[in-house]
Structures are given as structure tokens and as C-alpha cells.
Amino acid sequence: MTGAADAHLDTAIHALLQRVTAEAIMPRYRNLASGEVEDKGGNDPVTVADKDSEKLLREGLAELDDSLAFVGEETAHADPSILDRLDQPCWIVDPIDGTRNFASGKPPFGIIVARADGGVARSGWIYDCLTGRFCTAHLGSGAFIDGERIAARPTGKTPPVAALSLIFMQETRREATRRHITPAYDLVDIPYCAAEQYPRLALGENDVSIFERTLAWDHAAGVLWLNEAGGKAARPDGSPYRVDEVGRTGLLGAASPALWDELADLYARLD
């Protein structure tokens, strides 16, 4: 896509995410009725707002480009065969990222959309439903927040600041992480929301993160955005993150390549 086409798409996506937030998400924030929250299993909630948001996003994205397949978190939960579309040109959607927070009536939460082709994210958009922060990236074109280009910056603190998501790790690996990795960092709470965690890695709030579960709707846009900002997100062995590697675990993110290398060296001790 050309720069003009990217800008036009950004404007259209921004308008769509604002509309979906206003119509499907915010009316139910701190206003969910009994029975409007379900557990998909493993303490993974879904609300009526997630489902309504995904429906509106599917319709709106089809209006923008109906040649792309649609892979939404809730659609794929209902029909896992939809994940086969991830190696095709497709939209990838998390209708509410941070549902656990949303269902509890607290921030952060957002909407994540990516456009992928050949298993690689080509464009990504991350929208904070409460603040309106809009992160955008297109492959090879830099990273932006609310239209302004940004460069990832570390916190500058010693030791570096780490937000380590261990909740999906097996207990033995979790304990190994505590032994070999956590002593090297100043640990802070994770936000339970990739739409918040990736911006924190670029904006001088966190230096490094570990993600064990690496579902495409959680990470496609954020990985692209952080890499375009000059940080680094990749598999622990250094290979690029691909959206079509269904079931693969392990992803490291950092505010700079040097910080990523340090984390990857420590992470290698877990094997």
C-alpha cells in the first residue's frame, strides 16, 4: 500500500473503532447484567459486549475490504477451523482486549485489529477505549500514536523494568522463570491487556515483557507496532513472530534490541 492509502485506511479504521466503542462497548462498561459474562474456560471470560463488538467490526471491515478473510477471537473460539485462514490475506480482530478488566469494571481494555498476508502482519491498529489513544503501524513505515511518529524508549532504570506474564506457563517453567529471570529485573504488575502492554514497552514505562500465550489477535498488531517503533518483539530464538503459527508459545518484547538480547539470554536458561 502507498502512504496515502495507509493514511486513508487509518482514518477509516479509527472511525470504525470509535463507533464500535461507543455503540457496543462503553454502554456496558460497569453495566453488565447477570448472565452477560461467560467463562470460555481457564478463567477466560467473554461478555455480550465482546460478541457485539466483533459483529460490528466484522461488518465494518468487510465494507473496507471484503476480499480479506475475517479471523475474530470469538468467532474462532466458536469454530477453531477459522484459524486456518491465518495464512491467507485476512483481518485479525480482538473485539475487546482485556476482557477480564472490562468485566471487572476497571481499565485497561481496548480493541486490536491487524491486517495480515502470508502469515505476516502488514498493518496494525490498537485503540484504547477509555482514553482514545490510537496506535498505528504499517510494515516498513514506522509506528504512530494519534498520528505522531514515535520512537521506542527504555525507562533508563537499573535494573530494567519487567512485566512478565506467567499465567499461562506450566508451573515448572514458571518457577524456572522466577529463578533465572526475575532477579535481573524490577518487576511490575502486568495489565492483563496487550493493547496496554505494547505501548508501555515503547513509552518508557516498561523495558521488557514475556508472553507465553501468543494468539494472533493479541499480538499481531502489537508486535508490528513495537518493531516499527524501534523496539523489538520476536520469538525467544530470535525468529520473527508469525500470525499463522497456531499453538506456538513464547514471545519476548523489549523497548530496545539490546534489552531484548539480554532477556533472550536469560530466557535460554529455562530450556
pLDDT tens profile 246-270 = 999 999 999 999 999 999 999 998 8
- Going by pLDDT thresholds of 50, 70 and 90, the confidence category of residue 21 is very high
Q: Is the pTM of this model over 0.85?
A: yes
Query: Given a cut of 80, is residue 195 above it in pLDDT?
Result: yes
The CA distance from 129 to 25, in Å, is: 8
Q: Show the domains of the chain with their CATH numbers.
A: 3-150 (3.30.540.10), 161-270 (3.40.190.80)
Q: Residue 5's pLDDT is what?
A: 83
Contact 123, 115 (CB under 8 A): yes
Grid cell 533508563 is found at 156
Q: Is 73 annotated for ligand binding?
A: yes
Q: Is 52 annotated for ligand binding?
A: no
pLDDT tens profile 127-139 = 999 999 999 999 9
The neighbouring-strand residues paired with 123 are 115, 138
* Preceding omega of 108 cis (within 30 degrees of 0): yes
Contact 94, 74 (CB under 8 A): no
Query: Cα-flanking dihedrals φ and ψ of residue 128, to 5°?
Result: -85, 115
| 3-state helix/strand/coil string of 142-188 | CEEECCEEECCECCCCCCCEEEECCCCCCHHHHHHHHHHCHHHCEEC
Contact 93, 48 (CB under 8 A): no
Q: Is 23 annotated for ligand binding?
A: no
Q: Is 145 annotated for ligand binding?
A: no
Q: Is 128 annotated for ligand binding?
A: no
pLDDT tens profile 138-178 = 999 999 999 999 999 999 999 999 999 888 778 888 898 99
Average pLDDT value for residue range 93-108: 97
